[in-house]
Amino acid sequence: MANFYMKYILFIIFLIGALNSTKSQEPTYGRYGVIDRQVKRVPDSLANNIVHLHHYLDSIGVDDEERIRIFYMWIITNIKYENQVELLFDKNLLFYMGSNNSVSPVSVLKKRKAVCEGFSRLFQFFCQQSGIEAYTIGGYISKKGAFQDRATHSWNIVKLNDEWRFFDLTWAYASFEHTGIKSSTNEFYMVKPQEFVLSHLPLVPMWQFLETPVPISIFNMGNDMINIYLIKQKPHYNYEDSLKTYKKLGARERCLKMADEIYKTNSSNKFNRAIEYLRYARVILSFQNASEKKELKELLEAKDKIKKAMLFFRETQDVSAQLMFLQALDHLLILEKWIQITQSQNKKASESKF
């Protein structure tokens, strides 16, 4: 009898452990009904202040999973997708870069409108403010074998219970707008890497969070070939080590690292490499703007990267590249002015020594 009770107790312990394990790995949709109703009751006036809004949303949740759900639902029910300039030219394409829409969380909240990167940046901001590790990722979306020379979409990766899960708030918003059914948004909520890669391919392998990252050539062949590749390929990539290395880099080094990885992953993608070069220059411009003493070497490096970016943008005649070319040109003019002033100051300083 004692033996029976011991086995029974061990079975209960095992069952509880299994249930807890399942809970940590899968979205607990059963409790989301109450949370989603609370999101509906969030005072609209709070959206005037991003800090106050985050504090309120954060306070509703009792754990990170609930907070993630709250951020997710508030954004897709309060922010609208709008990219009128781009949609005039191609209504089937979602540009996450190269538009005239600001993607900063503050701007998105102020306008209540965004492109996909705007949705992602706001979600990332809310998560990070709550101590949840999250990133905004740019990448390619499934286009039934079509050649892809740039990434046109943006989404999120979030770490929850030591597991990485994907979220696409833009597609969730579109699904909810189209169907009016809240449960339709779950398709893009807390998705496992091996499932998400069937429709979304990050710009660089690290952001796939797979030990067998899928090449773009396989991705373009469709779901069947992707699944075969994932089954047949042996694990050969440590994304956690890659992420640790990436996190140690400074802002400008990250831009150059991304540009290099983009080229290795898809050499045809000059547009997104140009974006990273432009970001690199912006980081230097921002730093130099805050510094009284301008560093000539850094200004020259920024100028070199902007010129490369402009060259790449020039090779593409679509509106997105043209808009980015104009932005790069504005930055180049500022840089050339600073370089001229700095060179003059350095010359005077050198002459004064003699």
3-class secondary structure for 201-260?
Answer: EECCHHHHCCCCCCCHHHHCCCHHHHHHHHHHCCCCCCHHHHHHHHHHCCHHHHHHHHHH
Mean pLDDT of 91-95: 37
Instruction: State residue 149 phi and psi, 5-degree precision.
Output: -105, 10
Strand, helix or coil for residue 326:
helix
Q: What is the pLDDT of residue 158?
A: 98
Among the residue ranges 103-107, 197-201, 272-276, the one predicted with the least confidence is: 103-107
pLDDT above 90 covers what percent of the chain? 63
pLDDT of res. 318? 80
CA 205 centroid distance within chain: 14
pLDDT the model gives residue 98: 42
What is the pLDDT, as a whole number, of residue 245? 96
**Does the structure show a pLDDT above 70 at 22?**
no
Is the confidence at residue 38, as pLDDT, over 60? yes
Q: What is the pLDDT of residue 194?
A: 97
How much is the pLDDT for 150?
86
Task: Tell me the backbone φ, ψ of residue 137, rounded to 5 degrees.
Answer: -120, 135
Which residue would you say has higher pLDDT here, 90 or 259?
259
Position with higher pLDDT, 85 vs 198: 198
- State the average pLDDT over residues 140-168: 89
Query: What are the pLDDT digits (tens) for 307-331?
Result: 999 999 998 778 888 888 998 999 9
Residues 156/167, Cβ–Cβ less than 8 Å: yes
Mean residue pLDDT across the chain: 85
Any residues with CB less than 8 A from the CB of 224 and at least 6 apart, and which?
Answer: none
**CB neighbours (10 Å) of residue 320?**
21
Q: Which of 99, 108, 101 is nearest to 75 (CA)?
A: 108
Q: Identify each DSSP E strand in the chain by its residue range.
A: 80-81, 113-114, 134-141, 153-160, 163-167, 200-202
| Secondary structure element (H or E) that encloses residue 145, with its range | none
| Contact (CB, 8 A) for 71 and 58 | no
- Predicted local confidence at residue 292, as pLDDT: 62
Which tens digit of pLDDT belongs to each residue from 163-216? 999 999 999 998 888 887 778 888 999 999 999 999 999 999 999 999 999 999
User: Would you call 140 helix, strand, or coil by DSSP?
Assistant: strand
- Cα separation of 118 and 78, whole Å? 13
Place of tokens 């951020």: 71
CA dihedral 136, 165, 126, 276 (to 10 degrees): -10
- Looking at residues 110-139, what average pLDDT do you find? 95
Band of pLDDT at residue 291, cut at 50, 70 and 90: low
Average pLDDT over residues 343-349: 85
Cβ proximity of 121 and 108 under 8 Å: yes
| 294 vs 173 pLDDT, higher one | 173
Q: List the single range of 67-81, 256-270, 278-292 with lowest mean pLDDT.
A: 278-292
As a whole number of angstroms, the distance between CA 82 and CA 88 comes to 11
Lowest mean pLDDT, pick from 17-21, 289-293, 324-328: 17-21
User: What would the two tokens of residue 155 be?
Assistant: 């989404």
